[in-house]
Amino acid sequence: MKAKYLLLVLCFFLFSCSSKKILVPHFEVTSNIAREMKSPGFWVSKLQNPDKIILTEKQIKEFNLKIRENSPFLKDIFSIDIDKEKKKRNHKIDYINDLKKRSKYYDANSSKQVGTKFFQSIKENIDTNASINLKFALTIGYARLRALPTKTSLCSSLDTLDLKSLVLTLNPCSPLAVLYSTKDNKWYYVISEISEGWIQAEQITFASKEAIFNFLNDKNIAVVTSRFADLYKDSALTVFYDNIKMGTILYISKVKGNIIEIKIPTLNGENSSNEKLDFEHYYVKKSDVFLGFLPYTQRNVIVQAFKQIDAPYDLGDNYGYTDCSGFIKQVFSCFGIKLPRNSRQQINIKDAIDLNGDSTLKAKTIISDGVGGITLLYFPGHIMLYLGYFDNNPYVIHSIRGYSGKNNKIHILNKVAVTDLTLGYKSKNRSLLDRTTLMNVVGLDEKN
């Protein structure tokens, strides 16, 4: 009890140093959510046909192509236009030249200002005249894609700890188009399917375009369906290697009983003459994965979402957990649906439904047109998964950091939670429902 009190005092101090705001513990915020509402069965039982296949595997592949066409931020790394990348370098060079303006940033770990020398050393390590020599690679584990070639996590404020250097974390076996390196060859500038930036050389392995393409198109796959799946170095599952998060695709070598042997590419050098991929083999429990992708049904989506209940909020997926859009992407990845990484991009994978009018009208539209488990709700900066309604109130599950309340109070959740949309109704920012602007039902009309 004493420890909890000290934690609240510390949090209060952190949030009140500059903003003069009051911290409110999450149990005061979610007390109106009944215990049974935190179970997937509660919401599944409200569906007319929860096990109906929404899209087949073939239809999902076609849907993914449409998503890519509608989202300029999703890339086919095998179709990179070198001429366009050369033109884009001018903007990147301007960004590098402006680094001195960021000298007041802080090291998020030491809480010290990094200063001009820090950014000058980064600038000197980037060859702005480096030629683009397109190569292909895969991440060999979780890899952090950064805006700058540095391992230092930067923030512009010690109060908010808003990270500026870390973009996001890529899954193992993520394909990359590699354009050029830093002068010390410790970092590469790469384009992934969902974003681009700097990545450490030790986190990727090179191979021919053909070898990587064939590897990624191997149909003998499994997808992680547990919140985390433990990987082991031995088939007896006694020597731990790493844990893999939900939605990650694993490439199978063999299945033996309740144990699945998977393969992950091993590290090689950029100048390696090996055009093929070399692999290490690891082992995972069959109960933690699904062979192929899960059938895309309302029940399955809701069940997967609830496996993340109470998981900590994590901006950029740095520690295996998720922020709001990362949560959505992780859940839908279990079905082979390739969503963009950003919330704004996700809601616009196809024409979204505008939610106009007052909160009463918005709620009626969500309840009448929304489909439990496969409907995304959005307002600028945040995205949520609609579950259904109870007592004429729509409910969502989402990864949420917090929101403002009455008298400038900051309500902190910092987790995946089930809530209704009235949160914040006493604040100047208004409720989540008031702020919600767009709705999208993922894949429902793709059969037509």
**Both tokens assigned to 87:** 């033109």
In what order do the strands lie in the sheet containing 221-224? 240-245, 228-232, 279-285, 259-265, 249-256, 221-224, 289-291
Q: Give the pLDDT of residue 5.
A: 38
E-strand ranges in 391-431 read: 393-404, 409-420
How far is residue 319's CA from residue 203's CA, in Å, rounded to a whole number? 16
Q: What confidence tier does 21 reach under pLDDT thresholds 50, 70, 90? A: low
Is the model's pLDDT at 268 over the cut of 80?
A: no
Q: Is 423 helix (H, G, I), strand (E, B) or coil?
A: coil
CA–CA gap between residue 436 and residue 183 (Å, rounded): 46
The CA–CA distances, whole Å, from 398 to 343, 384, 386, 415, 418 equal 12, 5, 9, 8, 7
**Of 129-133, 203-207, 224-228, where does mean pLDDT reach its minimum?**
129-133
Q: Could you give the CA distance from residue 386 to residue 298 in angstroms, rounded to a whole number?
A: 11
Residue 448 pLDDT > 90, yes or no? Answer: no
Handedness of CA 322, 175, 338, 383 (dihedral sign): positive
Residues 13 and 23: their CA atoms lie apart, in Å, by: 9
Position with higher pLDDT, 31 vs 362 = 362
Domains of the chain: 2-55+296-441 (3.90.1720.10), 77-215 (2.30.30.40), 218-291 (2.30.30.40)
Q: What is the DSSP string of 375-386?
A: EEEEETTEEEEE
So what's the pLDDT on residue 189?
93
Q: What would the pLDDT profile of 88-144 be if each residue is shown by its tens digit?
A: 765 665 565 665 566 677 887 777 888 888 888 888 898 878 888 899 999 999 999
Torsion of CA 245, 320, 242, 278, to 10 degrees: 70
Mean pLDDT of the chain: 86
CA–CA gap between residue 423 and residue 413 (Å, rounded) = 11
Say what the pTM is: 0.88
Work out the angle between the directed axes of helices 82-97 and 115-125 (0-180°, nearest 10): 160
CB 240, CB 232: distance < 8 Å: yes
Q: Using CA atoms in the order 54, 56, 57, 63, what is the torsion angle rounded to 10 degrees?
A: -60
Q: How far apart are CA 232 and CA 282, in angstroms?
A: 6
